Amino acid sequence: MNVLAIKSSGDRTSISVMMNDEINSYSMTHGRKDRPDWNLFLSNIGHKRSFLLKEIDLFAFANAQNSYTATRIVATYMKGLAVGLNKPLISIKDLDSDDFEADSVAKIAKQEFLESGQDSKQHDPIFANPSYEDLANFKKLDE
């Protein structure tokens, strides 16, 4: 099974591709407002040299609780890939630890997908949305 996974915490993004049991990863620290160059990330894990996106069986992203914007950007990008290639997408709860990178997301996603009986309908990209445990508290500017 081939899995492509991304995790971003806002100032650090990692991407991993798992081709059967072999994992290739790339991570980069960047400014919080810098938008990731997905082609750079993909080329650094072997896209077009070792694999093509159509060979990916499952897409996954980390549902990071500490970076609302980064998580939405990653989710949107992964949804576009999954929908365009008609593949399943899984949102994985971010464990919020220093060693939780895209390779961990890929391993957990593969395990969850296999445990579901490889049910693509259960992992339809439409249902893979960021969710947040804490409700946002907004302050009105005119109060």
Q: What is the CATH number of the domain that holds 117?
A: 3.30.420.40
Q: Are 33 and 90 in contact (CB under 8 A)?
A: no
Q: How many structural domains compose the chain?
A: 1
The model's pTM:
0.87
State how far the alpha carbon of 61 is from the alpha carbons of 17, 22, 95, 101, 131, in Å: 12, 18, 12, 10, 12
Domain that holds residue 50: 2-127
State how far the alpha carbon of 36 is from the alpha carbons of 11, 14, 32, 91, 102, in Å: 10, 10, 10, 19, 15
Task: Answer yes or no: is 140 within a domain.
Answer: no
What is the pLDDT tens value at each position of the chain, 143 positions in all? 999 999 988 788 999 999 998 999 999 988 877 778 999 999 999 999 999 999 999 999 998 777 778 888 899 999 999 999 999 999 998 866 666 899 999 999 999 999 999 988 889 898 888 777 765 555 556 65
Predicted local confidence at residue 33, as pLDDT: 75
Cα angle, residue 99 at apex, residues 53 and 134 outer, rounded to 5°: 90
Task: Answer yes or no: is 135 within a domain.
Answer: no
